Structure 1
Amino acid sequence: MSGQAGGGEAVNLDTLSVQQLSQVKKQLDEELEHLTTSFTQLHAAQSKFRDCLRCVQQQDGKSSALQEGKQVLVPLTNSLYVKGSLSSASHVIVDVGTGFYVEKDVKSAAKFYEDKTNEIGANVKDLDSIIQGKTNNVRVIEEVLRQKMAAAPQQQAPQA
């Protein structure tokens, strides 16, 4: 029986001691926890980009309703808004990451958010397959551990 080690090389699990198997399982559990956290964060980011895309698409469809000078609430944080006035109905400010903002027309902003959503979606899919592989590795290691633990008392009984 063999499984995958962290480096991608095949290891015969039957040759490992119970302590070594426990160490490998612990390492895989830690990796799974980290990957699952990353997976959740990627989903949250994808959701935010989808919301931004939806807002930009709505503005594109209603650009005649939005007029320059119109009073709007500008979000400073998730729960803090300030009054402002719309300076352009055809342009938006896009957060491109690490504190940088770029002015884009509505169509370019929609494309930007669509591309980001698709890119993150691909990363989520790749990460999901990695998580499934690691989960399968943990199951295999747990099964080998169970077998070795069950065999250990049987090996000690004839010696006594």
Structure 2
Amino acid sequence: MASSKGGGGGGGGIPLERMSVEQLRALKEQADLEVNLLQDSLTNIRTATTRLEIASSALNDLSLRPHASKMLVPLTASLYVPGTIDDSQKVLVDVGTGYFIEKTMAEGKDYCERKINLLKSNFDQLVEVASKKKNVADEMAVILQAKMKQLASTSS
């Protein structure tokens, strides 16, 4: 498997086949680390998308409730307090870093949908990058294994 790639920018343009075993190991470790970081990012995006989809579903459920209906309001994951819906057409949207913005129900739903679409787009782009990085790491592993066999056969 011949390649003239430099290993994702870390090889300085040197073909992988001409690198030493130590250089290949270092590049492979770096590529594996990057793949793991990308996988973690993909997991975080999936989690954020799921949370936004749950929030969007909650907004739909909330919009169907009549004025002054009683409900349980979550304060934490395991603590709920009784509450009454005052105005089901206004919601507070958490826009990050502790900031909340009052929006209409339609604006809240639109916000969730836009964020979900953005995260899905980012997810798709990240999958593509992770796939390319994984292919480069796999190519390095094959070349490294071939070099190790070659070294073992010449030393015996």
Relative to the length of structure 1, the TM-score reads: 0.87
For the residues of structure 1 that align with 2:50 and 2:37, how far apart are their CA atoms?
Answer: 20
Please say if 1:30 is aligned against 2:33. Answer: yes
Post-superposition Cα deviations, 1:83-102, rounded to whole Å, max 9, x if no partner, equal: 22212121111111111111
1:26 Cα offset (Å)? 0.7
1:34-49 pair list within 5 angstroms: 34-49=37-52
1:4 Cα offset (Å)? 4.5
The residue identity in structure 2 corresponding to 1:39 is L
1:51 Cα offset (Å)? 0.9
- What's the counterpart of residue 141 of structure 1? 140
Mean Cα displacement is larger for which, 91-100 or 69-78? Answer: 69-78
Unpaired stretches in structure 1, ≥5 consecutive residues: none
- What's the counterpart of residue 20 of structure 2? 17
- What's the counterpart of residue 87 of structure 2? 88
Contact 1:92 1:103 in 2 (8 A): yes
Query: When the two structures are aligned, how many residues end up with a matched partner?
Result: 153
Unpaired stretches in structure 2, ≥5 consecutive residues: none
- CA RMSD in angstroms comes to 1.7
For the residues of structure 2 that align with 1:74 and 1:4, how far apart are their CA atoms?
Answer: 55
1:34 Cα offset (Å)? 1.1
For the residues of structure 1 that align with 2:62 and 2:90, how far apart are their CA atoms?
Answer: 10
Instruction: State the percentage of identical aligned residues.
Output: 30
1:3-152 pair list within 5 angstroms: 3-7=5-9, 10-60=13-63, 62=64, 65-67=65-67, 69-152=68-151
Relative to the length of structure 2, the TM-score reads: 0.90
Mean Cα displacement is larger for which, 115-124 or 97-106? Answer: 97-106
